[in-house]
Amino acid sequence: MNKILFFCTIAFLILLFSFSIERGEWTSVNENTLDEMSLDEVRMALGGEKSEHYMADYNPEKARIGLELILNGKRKKGLFKSKAISSYFVCTDCHNLNAEFSDAADQNPVDRLDYARKNKIPFLPGSTFWGIYNRKTFYNDDYVKKYGELIDKAKNSLPASIQVCAKYCSSGRNLKDWELEAIMHYFKQTELHLKDIRLTFDQKQSLANLQKLSTEEKKELLKEIESKYTSGYSAHFMETMPRDDRKYGAGGDAEKGKYIYDNSCLFCHLDGRVTYLKLDNDKLSAKLFLKNKTNYSDLSIYQIIRQGTYAMPGRNQYMPRFTKDKMSDQQIEDLMAYLNQLAEK
């Protein structure tokens, strides 16, 4: 009954708010629903601080150019044509553009794979760009082990993290100002809204009556809302699984392993699309890995997934590692189970 009353109140009174950011108050100047409200603006209305990269609005044309740079690594047409940011990678080789979880606060790799299979999206080593505008931290946890002081500023700056990714992760160059601006406009365009997080009925009701909340109540509501989405993805590097712990696919789920192979391994290696190592969905590719399954070389699934490789002269196309937050040990065994199956075809 309370839910019915609430939604009837919303519909009848049309309390469809927008925000006055400078005053941090609700106003009623347009007819946006609660669900369509910008998460960033909701945060500030509740007393949250502006992020370093805060943008009041975005330019659709610049956002379109930003997406072109993300997908193609350069702008092919228009006034500002550009050379490739990297000769080896584009952003979407490692990052999805859409959600990877049904719950914006989730980081579990098991849930991530389930969501990928259900929605037919790649299972990649990098964090999705979906919601990146709303994050506070980047290159978290163990990435300092790989990049050291290069990420000192990038850890708390979205623009700086983009530059690190462009020059170092992508073996490319620093973005020009207009390129960085365009990508930031795309990220702003794809920011999270209240519809993207799982608010409770009581939390929605509190937001609908925001002006009646005390300062302390606003602080508490802000904490609750910020717990509903990921403000920084965890990244923990794993050592290569010891031989004694490897099951070589025994008990693994070959169906899940096939999805990982097709949408992680072959995503980059099919016909050498991104890297020099060409793989296919045939028994020869499977046998290549099974032949090396007990060792610690780059052709061991257990080694390469956890350690990746590094860019070097003559081989700038390297493989990023999968952290334990992006792929679990069991998922590696699922992959091995599929390779065993594939080798027998």
Q: How high is the pLDDT of residue 220?
A: 98
Rounded Cα gap, residues 26 and 209, in angstroms: 9
Regions of the chain with pLDDT less than 50: 1, 3-31
Q: How high is the pLDDT of residue 19?
A: 39
Q: How high is the pLDDT of residue 304?
A: 97
Rounded Cα gap, residues 42 and 215, in angstroms: 14
Q: How high is the pLDDT of residue 21?
A: 36
Instruction: Report pLDDT digits (tens) over 227-240.
Output: 999 999 999 999 99
Neighbours of 183 (CB within 10 A): 26
For residue 331, what is the DSSP state?
Answer: H
Euclidean distance between the first and the last CA atom of the chain, given in angstroms as a whole number: 59
Q: How high is the pLDDT of residue 159?
A: 98
Q: How high is the pLDDT of residue 5?
A: 46
Spans of all domains in the chain: 2-51+193-226, 243-343
Q: How high is the pLDDT of residue 78?
A: 66
Assign domain 243-343 to its CATH superfamily. Cytochrome c-like domain (1.10.760.10)
Q: How high is the pLDDT of residue 80?
A: 63
Strand spans (E) along 281-335? none
210: left (phi over 0), alpha (psi -120 to 50) or beta: alpha
Rounded Cα gap, residues 149 and 9, in angstroms: 53
Best CA proximity match to 168, nearest among 235, 85, 232, 234: 85
SS3 call for 38: strand
Distances (CA, A) of 64 to 82, 241, 247: 15, 43, 47
- Helix, strand, coil tally for the chain in percent (to 5): 50, 5, 50
SS3 call for 18: strand
